[in-house]
Structures are given as structure tokens and as C-alpha cells.
Chain A
Amino acid sequence: MSQAVTPYLEMSQAIIEAGGEALKKCYQCGTCSGTCPWTPITNFNIRKLVRYGQLGFDGIEDFMWGCSTCKFCVDRCPRGVELIDIVTAIRNVYSGGGMLPQSLRSFVGSLAARGNPWSGDPAKRNDWAKEKYPLYKKEMEYLFWTCCTICYDPRNTRLARATAELLNQAALSWGIPSIDVNCCGESVRKVGDLELFERLKNTNLNYFQANSVAKMITVSPHCLVTFKKEYGEDYNIVHFSELLASLIKEGKLKPKKDFGGIKVTYHDPCYLGRHSGIYDAPRDVIKSLPGVELVEMKRNREQSMCCGGGGGGLWMEKLKGERLSDLRVEEALATGANVLATACPYCITMFEDSIRTLNVDDKIVVKDVTELLLESLEINIDEPVGDMCEIV
């Protein structure tokens, strides 16, 4: 039996007002849904989401969480529809009353209470550094923006230390922020909580202003995009892979260790690739390593496949068979690579999870390009990793 429905245009109007203006442009061609990596494996359908939004149909709540904001559809849409804005607006409108799915509640709650999504103690934000690295001061050149994931997620604190060591090695003038900062707010913005995002943003802006921050380095492409596009300021900000590529080119960092002919494949993180247009720098870093062969996966660069971690995806439970990271790891395995390199802490987390559940940890490991370079410079940072993050 079919159920009759009536368009509910007030709802549609609310979405438009929350930033989903682009709803109006869509002519329902299906390019986005045909392009979206989730369509073949889940019930999420971005074209349908837009359609429901256009007419304010009921039932949108059931599938609005599926998008990982990878931007593939946005790049391909023939009508120039800003689909991620629509997704964000819809989530904002429909979850305004606190209607978050269970799995997202703790991460949003932690952001609201502690300013980071990892339920970490704000006072311990810099504990990973063990007071080895300097705090940023006005006369320094770079602020090394330590995102929450590399401060609190035990696996990714390694990335924080690797970055810090390379910055020292290149003899740059740099420092890390004090514990007065908090999450850049990217994920919570994509989850639709625009108010919380504003709060987080203002805290950071205050710190940047008070400390006259002008140049920044990020390792998370998510922070990169957020500072560039959502903070309304014009910071001189680079992704660490870009800086590394130029330091290598200028001869300030010289890879030494020969990897003895290993195969490395590189996964383009959505926020570094499609969102920021950076494809070559991380590849240049890999190509500079002696004894390393860079092999490409079938889908690469502009056509790269999402790991599933964006847009809140990192915190959402996904059933087996509905995980993009699993498919991506399989694609990486198909190249015969021993290392799956990437340049984003979210991707690292997603892939390591998949490698564990797929039981292929003997075949492939995940590394950030930063870690590969560190290894090639023969710098050891691997003391036994203590648990930096007290789960409260």
C-alpha cells in the first residue's frame, strides 16, 4: 500500500534558511547518487536526500547521517549544487532538538563539555608533548596546530611527535598552542550543530588573535579546510605534507634510509585532495624516499575513494559490508603494496580499524607520509606508548 504524502514546504524553507539554498538548483539527474561511494553499499542516497528536502518530505531523518562529506558529488554535479551544505543544513534542522543518533552523542557531548571529541581532559591536551616541545610565542614563525586527534588518540599522538621531530630537524621556528584552544569544530559543523561550531571557533579565534598567529601548519586536512574556509580569516596555512615536499626539494630534509624496494600506495584524503586540491605534495614526499616504489590504486587523485571518516563518520558505528574503509583497504591490497600511506589522522584511524577487522595486519600497514619520512631520516620516537588519554 502506498502512503499519500503532502509536501511540507515550511520544512524545505527551514533547510534553505539553514544554508541549504542549493536545494533549489537540483534537477534530480542522479549524478551525485551515482558518484557517491555509499550508494552501492548502504541505503543512503544523496539525490533522494535532496528530493526529500526540496519537498520537505517526512522520513529524511532515517538516512541523513550517511554522508561522509567527501565532496565527490559536489565536484560532479552538473548544476553546481553544494550538496555538503545541504547535508549540513538538513542535519542542523532535523537534529536541532537533540535528535542525534546514539553513536554521535558522546562525541558531540564531549565537544560541548570538553572542547574535544575524544572525551579527553582539556588540561592534558599537550601531555603528548611531555614538555619536550615549545609553546607558541609571538616571535615564532609557525604555529603547529595540534588537532584533537593527534593530541588524544593514542595511535595518532605518534603522528604529533613525528611532526614535531621533523620540524626540529628542519630547524624551523615553531611552537604548539597552549591548552586554551579547542577542536577546530569541523566534524560538529558537518554534523549540523552550527551553534557549537561557532563557540569552538570563537575560542580558537581568541587564541589566534591574542597570540598574533599568522602562519600555521596542520596535519589534519580537516582543520586545514576549516581554518581556510570557515573561520572568515585569511591565515597563511599549509598542510604539513606541502611543507615537507618543499623542505625536501630545498634539501633541508634529506631522506637517508633505503626501504629496500617496498611498495607504497597513497590514499588521497578527501579533505586534502578534493577539498583542498593537494595531490602532488604527499606523493612527492613518498617519491623522495630511497627504495620505495609508489603504486597507484585504481581510484586516485580527484577520483579517490573516501575512507568514510568525514562528516562525523569516524564516530558512527557501521555494519560490516557498509564500511568504505574496508573497500579501500582491499583496493590497496590489490596493488600489492606493503604500506598504505596517507596524510590524515582520520584516514589512519579508519584504515587501521579495517585492517584489524579484515585480519590483514600481516599484509599491509598504514602510515602517514610524515612517519615514512621520519623513518627514512632514522629518527626513533618509539618509546613504549603510554596511554595519554584517560577515558573519563
Chain B
Amino acid sequence: MSRIGVFVCHCGLNIAKTIRVSELAEFASTLPDVVVARDYRFMCSTPGQEMIANDIKEHRLDRVIVTACSPLMHEHTFRKVIEKAGLNQYMLTIVNIREQVSWVTSDIEEGTAKAKALLNGAVYRARLLAPLSSRVIDVNSGVMIVGGGIAGIQAALELANTGKKVYLVEKNSTIGGHMAQFDKTFPTLDCSACILTPKMDAVLQHPNITLMTYCEISEVKGFVGNFDIKVRQKARYVNHDKCNACLACTEKCPGKGISEWDEGLVKRKAIHIPFPQAVPQKPVIDRDACTYFLKGKCRLCEKVCEQKAIDFEQQDTFIDVKVGAVIVATGYNLMDTSPLVQYGYGKYPGVYSALEAERLFNSAGPTSGKVTLRDGKEPQAIAILHCIGSRDKNNYEHCSRVCCMYSLKFAHLFKEKTSADVYQFYIDIRAAGKGYEEFYNRIIEEDVKFIRGKVARVAESSDEPGRLIVEAEDTITGKFVQLPVDMVVLSPAMIPREDSKEVGRLFNLSTDKHGFFMERHPKLAPLSTMSEGIFIAGTCQSPKDIPDTVAQANGAAAEALTIVSREKMELEATTAMVNPASCCGCQNCVRVCPYGAPLFNYEKGVSEINEALCKGCGLCASVCPTSAIIARHFTNEQVLAEIEGLMEF
């Protein structure tokens, strides 16, 4: 005979609105082995917790059922409560009557009936629960950060400053990310390079940071506290241990490739560093642009290199890294707007994407910071088009959050650098950050023209060749506007990296339908993921500006620290185990496990489960034909009892 206490939570009106909670508690008290049943407004509050603790003592309870919200919210809370009151933490059962009942119905009859069924099942199962003891493992104190934009840089420095070992993996040949492409940053208009390059250098110099540029993740094994990650170092064809960054090679090289850094506006050499302040300052050879790789002749770089650093034979190599936690900070891309034919991107030379415009402002950019069109002329009239592909069900439904602000920044820079008339075509100006509305006001006073209406079409002028006509309705006056300009800047949707789903798969992260990484909880755990020990920061999670990106990076660093600052950590005891006496050796379990936990022991002819890898999902137990696998905390008997309880309704 067990002694069960049932605690029904109202969750304010969240639950009480569609479930008769006192009736549920009364019902509970009629169930077998239940010795006390109560309902209360907020079970997770201190008085609620005390109520449970007191009842455990007073009624000598040996099992507790909390009928409340999802276990993701408070299982941990209530486990601690019963543990403090002297019970084994696995003697707790949570019945989720909020997300699974009250939030999905408005019918109180239906809600109450379903809650009773769930509770009945839970009582049947609770009677069969057994105490379990947690596993304790050693924790590796290093952290890997994937992506060296401002998010990755910031997180790396924070963690390294606490004395932890950091591996910063960047797929480009330099760190810096998009921020390194900008000239000025809103809303303060401080120079992007001035605030970013010191941080990039600090990364390079930091004794606790191993910088791994031109690298990609190729395999991730292990689990929180003990990740085993294989990193592919792409061949640079330059031996960076020998190279002294004199860059003599880049001067002589005849090979021409497209400058990714300048958004394809100009060419760069085959052997190159992306931009003058790149970190590291050492070059790589772009195979697809190198005359030697293409035609078998040249090797000029090799001739001029006094360090003998050029190595055409270099191959990709693999590096194994062991860390306790990971921060993914792979950033964003801008949407390719050329399929949106109405805006003429890729068709009319006068149409630019926002990142191309950024490069025109930058003194290290293709025009040395002068705003000129592709034909070298200064624009006389410029239209900036908001929400291109954003807030658009045909493309991306989300608001990209930063484009209103950088469009205002662009207007300012255009006014500063040219004598052009500047127009903003917008739907709403979203300027909700600190100092943003003030910045908006400032730009209005700089005599930028605001036209409220989304642009419908950019067409070629039939009167003046080369000029463009922007067509939109000014929705404030209802007038149809046909505006002749010579430059159009599109603000395209901010979207995830093209490989984000692949990265997600490697790290076992879920992504939303477009590929942004999903956080564990949108409000309370925005930097954690469903994979323990793996955190996300910056624009790989959703569009955001630099202040928010940096705040997240610091937060993710702190989260990672809570793991790697421990020497040991407790893992869930809810793993599976094999009873070798009944295992028939069919290896079904080996085949189905998504985590590679079961291994077949050929000597003994039976499967064995590596508990460190097992996440307790129970797949193996469900396919084992001889029931040799026991999923702890979800044994066949327990699960069948619960089903029986449910079926009674």
C-alpha cells in the first residue's frame, strides 16, 4: 500500500477557468491509495510548496502527484520540494492539465472530464513508481562557440575572462560577421570598426581563446558536460604557422574572385584577406579564383613569399575538441530579393540591397566611402524601400526588426555624403529600442521624406534612360506616387543562414519553419535549447540589433558558465538498461536509438546501453521483442497501469 498526495493547482484562472478544480480534488480523494487531495491557487508559490511539504510529513506520504502545468515548467521545482521533505525525487508525478487540457478547450465539462482521466492514469502509475538515484558525471570546463560575429566574439571574451578555455569556430577566414561590414551603427552612429576591431584583436590575443577560422563543424558526439566535436579545418593553402602577415603575396596575385565582403560589388585577389582589419591578418587562397588551380600555372605567391608559407598541397584536416558546453551564434543572411521581380533587383543596376549600400558608406569599401552609383555618378534622388520580403506572407511573415533603423541610418549617411533627396517608403516605422525614437525624430528633421506606402513596383524610366521610377500609393493622402530616382535601396528580410538546418541537425537543435533556432522557452529560457548544454545567441535565433545580440551573448556565456564552472554534474536517472538474461540479440535497439546509446557486445551476444548517452526516450524498450529493456521510470508495468487508468474513462 502506498500513500499518495494529490495537489491540484488552479494556476490563477489559467486552469480553474476550464476545469472544476475542487471537483477534481474531491475525485482524487476517492482514488486508491490517495490519502490526501487538495486544490490551491498557485501550487508553485511558497505557501503551495509548504503545503506539499507539510502534507508529506503529516500524512506520511510516499508519493506526490502535482496536477498543474507542463513538467517543463515546474517538474524541477516540485522534485526539490519533495526531496527536501525526505522523499526520493522520482516519487513525483506531474499531470499536465494546463497545456494539455485547460488551454486547449473552452468547455468546462470536457476539460474536467479529461483532467479526471489523466489523473486516474497518473494515480495508477504512481503506485508502481520506484526510487531512482541520479548519475554524477565529470564536466569538461571548455566551451565551444560556433560563429565569430559580434555574438560569438562577445561570448568568447566574456567566458575567456572568467578563466575558461574557449574554442571559437568561424567558417570565414576572418571573424567579425556582418558588423565588420558596416561604417556606422545606429542609433548613436558610432564607427563600427572602432568598437569592433579592438574586440576582434582581443580574441586573437587572449590566452584562453583558441581561434579556429576557416573551420566548420563536421560531427558532434556526447552530451552536456562532455561534448566531443570534430571540426574540419578547410585547406587555406597557406601555412599560418609560417606566414608572418606581410601580405606581399596578395599584391602580386593575378587571380580574381568576387569579394564576398563587399557583397560582390568588386573583385578581390585569389590569395586575400577579406578586409584590412581582418582577424587573423593571414591570407587564404580561393581555389575557384586561383590561376594555378584553374590553369596549372602561376605560383607567383609562392615566389614572393619569403616565409615559404604557401602550400598548394594542403588538405582539409580534422581537429577533435572536447568541451562541456556549446554556444551557437551563426548569425543571419539577407534574403535574395531577385525573385521579387517587381523591385528589379539584379535587373536594374540602380537597385541595391542594404548590405551593398553599407559597403558604399564604408571607407574600406569598394568606393572608399564615397556614395556613387555603378556608373561612378553621385545619385540625385534615392528611395529606401522598407519591408522587402519581411512582414509578407508570400515570403517571411516576421518583422526583421532592424531594417527600419538602418534605413534611417542610411538616410542620414546619404544626406551627409551626397546632396541627394532621400525618400523612405515604409508601412510602419518600428523604433522601439533605447534612443531609437529620438533617432527617428532626428532623421525627420534632417529633411528626409517619408512616404507611407509599400512600394509596388520599380520600373525603368521611359523618358530618362538609366533612371528608375518608384511606384507606390501614399496611403496618407491616397495619391499614387511615381517618383523618379537614380538609386533604390532594398531592406530585405533578415533570414537564417543557408546551412542553419544542417547546423541544427548536428547540434540537435530544432528550427522554426524558416530555420531560426528555437529557444527552450520564448520568455524564460530564450538562450537555452532543448539540447542540454547547447545555447544560442544573436541573430541565429531571430532578427535583432547589435545591443540585443550582445546582451544575448553575455547571457549565453553566463548560461554556459553555470555548466562548465561545475566539476561534476547530476544527470537524469531515467535511462534504459538491458537485462542480459532476456536479451535475444536482435539489435533492434541499436538500430532505433537516435543517440547511439545501445551497443552490441559480440562476446556476450547481448546489447548494452551506454547510460551517458541515453536520454531515456524509451524507443529501444518499445521495440525490444523480449522486454529485456527496462526504461527506468517508464517501465512496461508503469506505462500499462497508466493506460489502464486512462481507459477507465
Contact = CB atoms under 8 A, between A and B. Distances in A.
Interface stretch (B75-83, B236-244, B435-443, B450-458): B450-458
Contact of B473 (A34, A76, A78, A302): A34
A28 B475 contact: yes
A45 B473 contact: yes
A31 interface: yes
Contact of B454 (A31, A45, A302, A303): A31
Contacts of B455: 34
A40 interface: yes
Contacts of B427: 27, 29-30
A34 B391 CA distance: 17
A34 B394 contact: no
A40 B456 contact: no
A39 B480 contact: yes
B472 interface: yes
Interface string B401-425: 0000000000000000000000000
B387 A303 contact: no
A30 B341 contact: no
A83 B342 CA distance: 19
A74 B478 CA distance: 19
A79 interface: yes
A12 interface: no
Given A34-B453, A78-B454, A47 B393 contact: no
Given A76-B342, A78-B387, A34 B393 contact: no
B393 A40 contact: no
A75 to B, nearest CB: 8
A302 B340 CA distance: 11
Contact of B391 (A28, A33, A78): A78
Contacts of A39: 473, 480
A48 interface: yes
A78 B394 contact: yes
B228 interface: no
B392 interface: yes
A30 B393 contact: no
B528 to A, nearest CB: 33
A47 B342 contact: no
A47 B479 CA distance: 12
A45 B478 contact: yes
Interface residues of B, number: 23
Nearest to A41: B480
A76 B392 CA distance: 9
Given A27-B427, A303-B341, A34 B457 contact: yes
Given A40-B480, A47-B473, A47-B475, A30 B394 contact: no
A33 B482 CA distance: 13
B471 interface: yes
Given A29-B453, A39-B480, A76-B342, A34 B387 contact: no
A280 to B, nearest CB: 17
Contacts of A48: 478
Contacts of A40: 480, 482
Given A76-B342, A303-B342, A33 B475 contact: yes
A80 interface: yes
Contacts of B480: 33-34, 39-40
B635 to A, nearest CB: 49
Interface string B474-489: 1100101010000000
Given A78-B392, A78-B393, A34 B478 contact: no
A79 B393 contact: yes
Contacts, number: 61
B454 A34 contact: yes
Interface in B11-63: none
A202 interface: no
Nearest to B392: A78
B393 A31 contact: no
Contacts of A33: 453, 456, 473, 475, 480
A299 to B, nearest CB: 9
A363 B511 CA distance: 59
B241 to A, nearest CB: 53
A34 B341 contact: no
A203 interface: no
A35 B478 contact: no
Contacts of A31: 454, 456
A48 B341 CA distance: 26
Contacts of B395: 78
A35 B457 contact: yes
Interface residues of A, number: 19
Nearest to B475: A30
Contacts of A78: 387, 391-395, 454
Interface in B380-401: 387, 391-395
A150 to B, nearest CB: 34
A134 B243 CA distance: 87
B392 A34 contact: no
Contacts of B471: 34
Interface string A177-207: 0000000000000000000000000000000
A35 B454 CA distance: 10
Interface in A201-248: none
A42 to B, nearest CB: 10
Q: B453, B455, B457, B475: which has the most chain A beta carbons within 10 Å?
A: B475
Contacts of A30: 427, 452-454, 456, 472-475
A100 to B, nearest CB: 26
Contacts of B472: 30, 34
Interface string B268-292: 0000000000000000000000000
Interface in B486-502: none
A202 to B, nearest CB: 35
Nearest to A80: B393
A78 B385 CA distance: 14
A79 B397 CA distance: 8
A35 B475 contact: no
A342 to B, nearest CB: 22
A214 to B, nearest CB: 35
A76 B166 CA distance: 48
Nearest to A45: B478
A374 B480 CA distance: 43
A39 B341 CA distance: 20
B470 to A, nearest CB: 10
Contacts of A79: 393
A31 B480 CA distance: 11
A41 B387 CA distance: 27
A1 B456 CA distance: 32
A303 B340 CA distance: 11
A246 to B, nearest CB: 28
A40 B394 CA distance: 25
A47 B476 CA distance: 11
B474 to A, nearest CB: 8
Contacts of A47: 473, 475
Nearest to B456: A34
Contacts of A27: 391, 427
A209 B304 CA distance: 86
Contacts of B453: 29-30, 33-34
A352 B474 CA distance: 34
B399 to A, nearest CB: 11
Interface in A1-60: 27-31, 33-35, 39-40, 45, 47-48
11 contacts: A29-B387, A29-B453, A30-B475, A33-B480, A35-B342, A40-B482, A45-B478, A76-B342, A76-B394, A78-B391, A78-B393
Interface of A: 27-31, 33-35, 39-40, 45, 47-48, 76, 78-80, 302-303
The 3 A-B residue pairs with the shortest CB-CB distance, nearest first, are: A34-B456, A30-B453, A78-B392
Interface of B: 341-342, 387, 391-395, 427, 452-457, 471-475, 478, 480, 482
Given A76-B342, A80-B393, A80-B394, 17 more contacts: A27-B427, A29-B454, A30-B472, A30-B475, A31-B454, A33-B480, A34-B453, A34-B457, A34-B471, A34-B472, A39-B480, A40-B480, A45-B478, A48-B478, A78-B393, A78-B454, A79-B393
